[in-house]
Amino acid sequence: MWLIAVIVLLGAYGYWAIHRPLPSINPVATKQFELKTPVSKLAWPAKEQSAVGIVGSRILETHGTPTPLPTASTAKLITALAVLHQKPLNLGEQGPTITLGANDVSIYNSYKGQSGSVVPVTAGEQVSEYQVLEAMMLPSANNMADSLAIWAFGSLPAYAAFANSYLQQLGLTGTHIGTDASGFAPSTTSTAHDLAVIGELAMQNPVLAQIVGLHSVNGFPVANTIKNVNFLLGTDNIIGVKTGNTDSAGGVFVGAARVIVNNQPVVIVTTVIGAPNLWQAMHDSLPLIQSATKANFSPVTATLTGSVTGHYQQPWGGSIAAVATRNLTVQAWNGSTVNAYIQLKAISPSSRAGQTVGSVTIPKSALAGQQSIPVKLQSSPTKPSLGWRLTHPF
**Spatial distance between the Cα atoms of 222 and 127, rounded to a whole number of angstroms:** 10
Tell me the average pLDDT of the chain.
92
Q: Quick one: angle between helices 129-137 and 75-86, nearest 10?
A: 170
The SS3 assignment for 12 reads helix
Calpha distance 322→127 (Å, rounded): 66
Domain check: are 87 and 107 in the same one? yes
* 95 shares its domain with 164: yes
Domain endpoint, select from 295, 314, 333 = 295
pLDDT digits (tens, 9 = 90+) for 310-367: 999 999 888 999 999 999 999 999 999 999 999 999 999 999 999 999 999 999 988 8
- State whether 241 and 145 are in the same domain: yes
The verdict on 374 and 234 lying in the same domain is: no
pLDDT at 390: 72
Q: What torsion, rounded to 10 degrees, do the Cα atoms 362, 363, 367, 368 define?
A: 70
* 75-114: burial string, b at 16+ Cβ within 10 Å, e else: bbbbbbbbbbeeeebeeeeebeebebeeebbebbeebeee
In the prediction, which pLDDT does 12 show?
Answer: 54
Average pLDDT over residues 204-225: 92
Question: Which of the listed residues 251, 280, 295 is the one where a domain comes to its end?
Answer: 295
Asked whether residue 54 falls in the same domain as residue 30, the answer is no
Residues 192 and 338 in one domain: no
Does residue 385 surpass a pLDDT of 90?
no
On whether both 198 and 216 belong to a single domain, the answer is: yes
Last residue of a domain, one of 295, 315, 340: 295
Q: What is the pLDDT of residue 18?
A: 62
Q: Is 10 inside any structural domain?
A: no
Given this model, what pLDDT does residue 223 score? 78
Same-domain status, 202 and 102: yes
pLDDT at residue 134, as a whole number: 97
Instruction: Output helix, strand, coil percentages for the chain, rounded to the nearest 5.
Output: 30, 30, 40
Residue 327 falls inside a structural domain: yes
- Residue 305 and residue 215 in one domain: no
Domain annotation covers residue 225? yes
Establish if 42 belongs to a structural domain: no
| Residue 267 falls inside a structural domain | yes
In which domain, by residue range, is 314 found? 21-37+300-391
Rounded mean pLDDT, 232-236: 94
Residue 11 domain-assigned (yes or no): no
Beta bridge partners of 252: 244, 273
| Distance, CA of 49 to chain centre | 21
Q: Could you give the count of Cα atoms lying within 13 Å of 279 in the half-sphere of its Cβ?
A: 0
Q: What is the CA radius of gyration of the chain?
A: 32
128: left (phi over 0), alpha (psi -120 to 50) or beta: beta
CATH of the domain at 252: 3.40.710.10
Rounded to an integer, the average pLDDT of 65-71 is: 96
Q: Does residue 7 fall inside a structural domain?
A: no
Residue 131 sits in the same domain as residue 227? yes
Write out pLDDT tens, residues 121-131: 999 999 999 99
SS3 letters for 215-237? CEEEEECCCEEEECCCCCCCHHH
CB-based burial label for 317 (10 Å; 0-12, 13-18, 19+): exposed
User: Using CA atoms, how far apart are residues 76 and 149, in angstroms rounded to an integer?
Assistant: 10
Q: Are residues 347 and 214 part of one domain?
A: no
Calculate helix-pair angle for 129-137, 142-153, nearest 10 degrees.
Answer: 140
In a domain, 2, yes or no: no
Report the pLDDT value the prediction gives residue 297, as an integer from 0 to 100: 94
Residues 68 and 32 in one domain: no
State the DSSP code for 23: P
| Most confident of the ranges 28-37, 197-206, 298-307, 312-321 | 197-206
Domains in the chain, number: 2
Q: Is the pLDDT assigned to residue 394 strictly greater than 70? A: no
